[in-house]
Amino acid sequence: MKLNSEPTASRPRIAVVYGTRPEAIKCAPLIKAIEAHPGLDVTVVVTGQHTEMVDEVHQIFGIHADRDLALMEPGQALGRLSGRVTSATSGVLREIRPDVVVVHGDTSSSTAAALAAFSEGIPVVHLEAGLRSHNLRNPFPEEGNRRMTTAITSLHLCPTPLARQNLLAEQISPNSIVVTGNTVVDALLTAKTDADEPENAALRAALDSGRRLVLLTMHRRESWGKPMEAVADAVRQVADAVTDIVVLCPMHPNPAVRTTLTERLGGHERVLLTEPLSYRDLVAALRHAHLVMTDSGGIQEEAPTFGVPVLVLRDATERPEAIEAGCARLTGTAPLAVFTDAARLLLDEDAHGAMAQAGNPYGDGNAAVRAVAAIAELVGIGTRLPDFEATAISDRAIPLNV
């Protein structure tokens, strides 16, 4: 699919808009691939929501933000944030006049930026398109955000064949869909080689303990309250029962999360509660983990890159590919299920090995190359590459030539 616009004298300009650390991580390989393309220019626009964490990602990947909207505001309601992002992004787009705007995923700010581009008559490219839980309330507001973004997108860059099927079921034109793989795998393969000695003291202590590392993360809105309490109680029981493990639990800044985890897990000698990990330290933790327990969407995609089994602490997931591939299990939040699944993977070597060797259905390290080829085709200066097929394990990735 190509745009019906006349070519300009200058190279087509691609604006990439994001604001959170997960978005920055997944957009970084795309930005670097656009920079390397001889026929494209890129402008990076950040909304300023996670300034310090985004700055760290930029430093790791050598990215400079061309525009910072500086929209961070403590306790900001989703509606207010969305309105401010739409307004501020519209102003920047009128100034820089890009040919295409790229947004990522399912945050409220990415949907707002997509709406700004659509309102300015600029084609939207949606990176990580097609994820669906088929439940508007879970996850909230992400499921609604991604559906709204789909409706105004010109080019859908899907991470997996299943994501493509989701869009086809919604009558999205096949010509507007490209399966790229997930750029999070590209990012991990780069960051993995750059990982240094961990900065986080709790992570260092865990790695020096001689025990197997269990990484636990919970932060989602739907996990607050009783679900998180139930999981924390089960994890404490696991730590009591399996004495050769250490549980590392980076805590989200939200008081609803910190209070529950501190009350339920604090004081256990083999449970280390700590501040959020930097991206470098998260990569180090994933590399050394024996088991990951999480409600995070991103970590569900990242852990299989390192062959680490994942227990998904949610009742539903929009990322079923890992479960179908066998490298993740949808455990939920019921205490007995959490305890049983975790204990089995910690005590049964065959069960653990089967999940660890299942491979990675999310990418082969070439997602950004495929994405840029599709964008180049969109603006009339190239041809898309063959779609990603979930057959290669990421650590064996073979670079594609454009």
Dihedral Cα 341, 347, 349, 355, nearest 10 deg = 20
**Within 97-208, where are the H helices?**
108-119, 142-151, 161-169, 183-194, 201-208
Mean pLDDT on 157-167: 98
Mean pLDDT on 201-217: 98
Radius of gyration of the chain (CA): 21
CATH T-level fold of 13-182+363-396: Rossmann fold (3.40.50)
Whole-model pTM above 0.95?
no
C-alpha span between 177 and 158 (Å, rounded): 7
* Structure tokens belonging to residue 317: 């997931």
What's the residue count for the chain?
Answer: 402
Q: Where are the domains of the chain?
A: 13-182+363-396, 200-356
Token pair 């303990």 in the structure block, residue: 209
Structure confidence at residue 392 as a pLDDT band (50, 70, 90): very low
Residue among 262, 240, 243 at smallest CA distance from 252: 262
DSSP string, 356-392: HTS--TT--S-HHHHHHHHHHHHTTS--PPPPP-TTS
Q: What is the pLDDT of residues 95-148, one digit of tens each?
A: 999 999 999 999 999 999 999 999 999 999 999 999 999 999 988 899 999 999
CATH architecture of the domain 200-356 equals 3-Layer(aba) Sandwich (3.40)
Annotated catalytic sites, by residue? 106, 128, 142, 219, 221, 252
CB-CB contact of 284 with 274 (8 Å): no
Q: What is the pLDDT of residues 55-72, one digit of tens each?
A: 999 999 999 999 999 998
Q: Which DSSP helix (H) or strand (E) runs through 213?
A: strand 212-217
DSSP string, 43-91: EEEE--SSHHHHHHHHHHHT---SEE-----TT--HHHHHHHHHHHHHH
